[in-house]
């Protein structure tokens, strides 16, 4: 087991290839209807957003509530490129990532001067402004939304049903997680944490605080953009401004908080659980916001480091006991 861990650590790609094959096999073994594939795709999309949000909020400590706006930018870049140019996912995805990255810059600028709740308000305004701009713009299909966005083709197969689209969203999610891990486990991730913990002493260690805040916002915006584009092309390919409201933002936040702020797996665990709960509670639509709000409050009160922190604590305790056991022998 130790040796296996060491190999994974040396060749981080290997773990993702194993995960890829496992996830490839899952639909044919477990899934009984199309809806399960659809839900899995939604989970993957939410994982991408949550992994990005974990960079800026969990690691860099910048409270942003406007992430859903960036997600909308990604979706609508893809949607509009399809509507006006007929572009497929393979073209819209990289361009959506780039465009959303640029919007990330706009969200980063207030973070130079604002902190905590004030930054949250500023970014909330930014996110809502984007949604209202889309809702009132003829160019973006206004309140009709954009419909029948095409599904991508590869090797002569059109991925136009939920069970096929699973094989598009899953690898993109794995690549996103891979990028988030490699960034967060490097010196950049450490610098993000240092900025979160104490910007003044981070600067004294030679860490450029503004540059790293900017970097965190741009990176996480790119994740949101990628997720948005994948969501836009998700069959049946329909996007509407109402999919990008504060409610969605609260769910994204709930994912990161519940999974564990600043834990490398935090966003991912949270995204899986919250997406499933979100789906199960669909009949209780009026209470959903209440449920997620309550989840955030209770998690912060009783489990401030989320599930990730809980798991970490278990492993640390176990290692500690092992050490003690060795010492007593």
- List of residues contacting other proteins (CB under 8 A): 9-13, 178-179, 181-183, 185-188, 190-191, 193-194, 196-198, 200-209, 262, 316
Comparing CB distances to other proteins, the nearer of 74 and 260 is 260
User: What is the DSSP-derived secondary structure letter of residue 151?
Assistant: P
Comparing CB distances to other proteins, the nearer of 209 and 239 is 209
CB 217 within 8 Å of CB 107? yes
CB 140 within 8 Å of CB 80? yes
Least Å from the CB of residue 112 to other proteins: 12
Query: Please, what is the end-to-end C-alpha distance for the chain in angstroms?
Result: 23
Least Å from the CB of residue 290 to other proteins: 30
Comparing CB distances to other proteins, the nearer of 80 and 207 is 207
Least Å from the CB of residue 236 to other proteins: 34
Comparing CB distances to other proteins, the nearer of 116 and 137 is 116
Polymer length in residues for the chain: 329
Comparing CB distances to other proteins, the nearer of 209 and 250 is 209
Cis omega (within 30 of 0) on the bond before 236?
yes
Least Å from the CB of residue 219 to other proteins: 8
Comparing CB distances to other proteins, the nearer of 210 and 240 is 210
CB 91 within 8 Å of CB 78? no
Enter the tokens of residue 279.
């789906």
d(CA 37, CA 194): 40
β-strand partners of 239? 146
Least Å from the CB of residue 296 to other proteins: 19
- The backbone torsions φ and ψ at residue 292, rounded to the nearest 5 degrees and listed phi first, read -75, -35
d(CA 300, CA 297): 5
Pairing of strands 157-158, 153-154: antiparallel
d(CA 92, CA 195): 33
Least Å from the CB of residue 182 to other proteins: 3
Least Å from the CB of residue 186 to other proteins: 4
Comparing CB distances to other proteins, the nearer of 125 and 199 is 199
d(CA 64, CA 76): 20
Enter the tokens of residue 121.
């308000």
């Amino acid at each position: 087991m130790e040796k296996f861990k060491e190999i994974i650590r040396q060749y981080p790609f290997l773990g993702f290839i194993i995960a890829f094959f496992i996830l490839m096999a899952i639909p044919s073994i477990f899934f009984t209807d199309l809806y399960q594939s659809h839900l899995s795709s939604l989970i993957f999309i939410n994982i991408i957003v949550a992994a990005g949000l974990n960079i800026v909020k969990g690691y860099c400590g910048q409270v942003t509530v406007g992430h859903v706006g960036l997600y909308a930018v990604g979706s609508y870049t893809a949607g509009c490129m399809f509507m006006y140019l007929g572009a497929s996912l393979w073209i819209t995805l990289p361009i959506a990532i780039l465009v959303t990255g640029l919007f990330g810059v706009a969200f980063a600028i207030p973070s130079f001067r604002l902190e905590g709740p004030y930054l949250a308000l500023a970014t909330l305004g930014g996110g809502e402004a984007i949604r209202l701009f889309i809702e009132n713009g003829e160019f973006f299909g206004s309140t009709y939304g954009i419909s029948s966005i095409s599904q991508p083709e590869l090797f002569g197969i059109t991925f136009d049903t939920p069970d096929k689209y699973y094989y598009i969203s899953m690898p993109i999610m794995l690549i996103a997680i891979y990028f988030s891990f490699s960034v967060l486990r490097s010196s950049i991730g450490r610098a993000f944490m240092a900025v979160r913990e104490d910007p003044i002493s981070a600067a004294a260690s030679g860490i450029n605080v503004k540059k790293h805040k900017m970097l965190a916002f741009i990176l996480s915006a790119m994740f949101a953009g990628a997720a948005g584009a994948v969501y836009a092309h998700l069959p049946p390919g329909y996007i509407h401004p109402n999919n990008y409201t504060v409610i969605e933002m609260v769910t994204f936040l709930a994912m990161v908080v519940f999974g564990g702020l600043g834990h490398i797996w935090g966003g991912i665990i949270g995204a899986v659980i919250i997406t499933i709960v979100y789906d199960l509670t669909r009949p209780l639509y009026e209470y959903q916001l209440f449920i997620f709000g309550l989840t955030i409050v209770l998690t912060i009160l009783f489990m401030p480091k989320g599930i990730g922190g809980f798991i970490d604590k278990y492993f640390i305790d176990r290692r500690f006991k092992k050490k003690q056991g060795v010492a007593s022998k």
